[in-house]
Structures are given as C-alpha cells and as structure tokens.
Amino acid sequence: MDVRLRRKREAAAKSTRIQEVNRRVILDAALEVFSAYGFRGSTIDQIAERAGMSKPNLLYYFKRKQDIYVSVLEETLAQWLQPLADLDPAGEPEAELARYIARKLAMSAERPEASRLFANEILHGAPAIQKFLKSTLKDLVDEKAGVLRRWMAEKKIAAVDPHHLIFMIWAATQHYADFETQVRAIMGPEAETASFRMATADAVTSLFMNGLKPR
C-alpha cells in the first residue's frame, strides 16, 4: 500500500475515534445538565463547561441544543428499554420478571439522571419524543404484554392486566431514580450502600412475584 494513502487512512481513523470520544463526552455532560435543569433551563454554555470544551468546539458536533437533547433522549430510551426487549417469551416467567425488575433497579441506582431526564420530558408532554412513544415504545410494550398474557393463559402467573403490570414495574423501579432525593432523605447514608440496593431488589421482586403467583 502506498505510504501516503496508509497515513491518510490512519489519520482519518484517528480523527473518527477522537470525534466519537468527544461526542460521548458531550452527551454524558448534557445528560447531567438536562436532568438537573430540564431542556428549557439548560444552555449550550453549561453543557460545554461540564464537558470541558469550548462552545465553538461543542457546536462543531451539535448545531443546536435541541439536537443534543434529542440525541441524549434517544440514547437514554434505548438503554432503558433494553431490559424489557430482552424479556424472553421462552423463559420461565418468574425468572424473566425477576431479572427484568433487578435490571431496572440496577439502572436506577447506576444512572438515576437518565430516568429523571425521561420523567421530566414526559411531565412536559414529551414534545421531543411523541412519535417514539406512539410507535417504537407502544409496539414494544404491546409485544411484551402479549407475552405476559400468554403466561397468564398458561396459568404460569396470575391473571392481571399486562399493560398495568408493566406500568407498575416502571413506577416501582424508577421511583428509586426519580425520587432519589426523597429516598436519601428518609433512609440516610444507608441509601448509598450496596446492601440497601440488594434489599430493595429483594423487596420489590418479592412484592411483584408474590402478587403474581397463580391462584
């Protein structure tokens, strides 16, 4: 291979890696800023400062605050919905639901700001993700509701409305992220410990699984 061509390709690959790293830094910083101040209360300057780069440098990657916000939301939704997408129709209901609940609680503990960002968007009428909610999200929830409905018909779990069951799992698990300040105020330093997180997973899973035992 021609030396100049090889060097040109290596430079292009290095540039791409740097761009990927910078985009990651910007999106991580934006998640923190948007989850704390909301879309309207956040500024490009705040995100640039949190990312440790100049505003012109940031604007090289994203032209508008709206573009950053939508990118952060789309990434957040993809991550938060993955555990539901992984619910295996061929698996045992108790194991699958327990795994789903545990993963949701782990995400709430590890990235509470992601859940708060999504909750804030919903509370404001979801202007940036209405199309997603009515298409991708609805299709996934309907699909998994069908799985739950089949398990109920097979008497593997108690018969309840599957959509409401999913809503309740969301409410119970994401509470620990969306109301993290309240949980810490009540539980004190214990809320920061691994043992508290394990106890939370045991309690929430037990409540759901006991309620879903076939009758």
* Architecture category of domain 1-63 in CATH: Orthogonal Bundle (1.10)
* Architecture category of domain 72-215 in CATH: Orthogonal Bundle (1.10)
pLDDT surpasses 80 at 2: no
pLDDT higher at 78 or 48 = 48
Confidence band (pLDDT; 50, 70, 90) for 86?
very high
Name the least confident of 5-14, 19-28, 114-123. Answer: 5-14
Residue 10 is predicted with a pLDDT of 45
Mind listing the pLDDT tens digit for each residue in 116-145? Answer: 888 888 988 988 888 889 999 999 999 999
What percentage of the chain carries pLDDT values higher than 90?
69
Cβ-in-10-Å burial (0-12, 13-18, 19+) of 125 comes to: exposed
DSSP 100-156: HHHHHHHHHHH-HHHHHHHHHHHHTT-TTTHHHIIIIIHHHHHHHHHHHHHHHHTTS
Residue 29 is predicted with a pLDDT of 95
| Domain coordinates in residue numbering, the chain | 1-63, 72-215
Cβ-in-10-Å burial (0-12, 13-18, 19+) of 176 comes to: buried
What pTM, to 2 d.p., does this model score?
0.81
Angstrom distances, CA of residue 43 to CA of 30, 116, 156: 9, 18, 50
> If residue 73 lies in a helix (H) or strand (E), which one and from where to where?
helix 65-85
Name the least confident of 8-12, 109-113, 162-166, 204-208. Answer: 8-12
Q: Do domains 1-63 and 72-215 have the same CATH topology?
A: no
